[in-house]
Amino acid sequence: MRSLHLKRALQDIRQNRLLNAVTISTIALSILIVSAAVLFFINTTDMLESWRRGIRIMVYLENDLDKAQRHAIEARIGKVYGVQTAEFISKETALERLRAQMRRQSSILDGLERNPLPDAFEVQMIPTARNWEKAEDVAAKLEALAGVADVEYGQRWVERFVTLFSLFRMTSYAMGGLFFIASVFIVGNTVRLILYSRREEVEIMRLVGATERFILAPFYLQSMIQGALGGISGLVALLIMFMLIQSKIQAVSVTGLVNLRFLSPGLLTAIVVASTLVGWLGCHLSLKQYLKV
């Protein structure tokens, strides 16, 4: 019996290729947008959490300080509450690290007449001080030390990023809701059109005693197949986009700190299941309205 329903559902899909293609494409686009937002949230959350765990402050020194002056500054840095360690990084070491991180682009540095980088201390925070307010307080104290030219810990950049992240999240919720409604509507409209084309067949089946369940089962299967295909298509498109973006980031990244990850197998399965349920829901609402199921 199930094989008969499945055969009829696949037959309807083949007979109405264009209509079903539009439905599957709409679901795929919806899944692509929603899953892309989920992927963005996962990776940005990872980045922010990684920054919070490994928060550091770069203390750049004034030029021409001797060894004794650097040791004095290091001692004063160590006395600031919230500082766990302070590692001295000479301008020569900093330039070598930059060469190693730039890899393919390291030839850009070969033409430098002199080292433009300053000596610096890389300050690691204690776990209890790894938050915005305390990091800002520590940075202000370090910047006030004699011999310190500048202090950098990326606060402004991260704050702007968090603001954009929150805005993008709200926009994604709205877009996801709109595309969900659109997908349900289009699936329902597809079912209505197919049902209209088969109305005489449905009436004959009712006259010969076929149950409503027997009559409607192929419509549900067809809609669920549309939802599943749309979900899989959207995720495949997302994977291709992810691989392209990842390769571009790896090609231009000079920090080596950008590690993106794709959606987990469990989440991929959940998205396909949800997409299938969208197809079922669109069919159910359509049949309930027009056939009084």
Residue range 122-170, pLDDT digits in tens: 888 777 666 666 777 888 888 888 888 888 776 656 666 667 777 777 7
* Amino acid 254: pLDDT: 46
Task: Mark which of 152, 182, 204 sits at the end of a domain.
Answer: 152
Average pLDDT over residues 1-24: 71
Same domain, 185 and 144: no
* Amino acid 134: pLDDT: 74
* Amino acid 234: pLDDT: 92
* Reduced DSSP (H G I as helix, E B as strand, rest coil) percent helix, strand, coil of the chain, to 5: 75, 10, 15
Task: Mark which of 96, 126, 152 sits at the end of a domain.
Answer: 152
Same domain, 72 and 197: no
Residue 152's φ and ψ, nearest 5 degrees, are: -135, 130
Q: Residue 248: which domain range?
A: 2-50+161-290
Average pLDDT over residues 252-257: 49
Same domain, 134 and 22: no
Residue 291's φ and ψ, nearest 5 degrees, are: -115, 0
pLDDT confidence band for 238 (50 / 70 / 90): very high
Give 187-230 pLDDT, tens digit per residue: 877 777 777 766 776 677 777 776 767 777 788 888 888 889 99
pLDDT confidence band for 270 (50 / 70 / 90): very high
How would you classify residue 258: left for phi > 0, otherwise alpha for psi between -120 and 50, otherwise beta? beta
pLDDT confidence band for 237 (50 / 70 / 90): very high
CA proximity to 31, closest of 170, 179, 174, 181: 179
Same domain, 89 and 32: no
Average pLDDT over residues 171-197: 77
* Amino acid 269: pLDDT: 94
State yes or no: pLDDT of 8 exceeds 70.
no
The C-alpha atoms of residue 129 and residue 121 are separated, in whole angstroms, by: 18
Same domain, 74 and 37: no
Task: Mark which of 152, 171, 199 sits at the end of a domain.
Answer: 152
Count of residues making up the chain = 293
Cα 182 to its chain centre, rounded Å, is 23
State yes or no: pLDDT of 240 exceeds 70.
yes
Same domain, 73 and 36: no
Contact 31/235 with Cβ under 8 angstroms? yes
State yes or no: pLDDT of 288 exceeds 80.
no
Q: How many domains does the chain have?
A: 2
What single-letter DSSP state applies at residue 111?
G
- In terms of pTM, does the model score above 0.75? no
The C-alpha atoms of residue 26 and residue 182 are separated, in whole angstroms, by: 8
State yes or no: pLDDT of 231 exceeds 70.
yes
The C-alpha atoms of residue 146 and residue 182 are separated, in whole angstroms, by: 62
Give 94-130 pLDDT, tens digit per residue: 777 777 766 666 556 566 667 778 888 888 877 766 6
Give 26-83 pLDDT, tens digit per residue: 889 888 888 888 888 888 877 777 666 656 788 888 887 888 888 888 889 888 888 8
Same domain, 80 and 189: no
Same domain, 189 and 235: yes
Same domain, 166 and 135: no
Burial class (CB in 10 A: 0-12, 13-18, 19+), 116: exposed
The C-alpha atoms of residue 14 and residue 8 are separated, in whole angstroms, by: 10
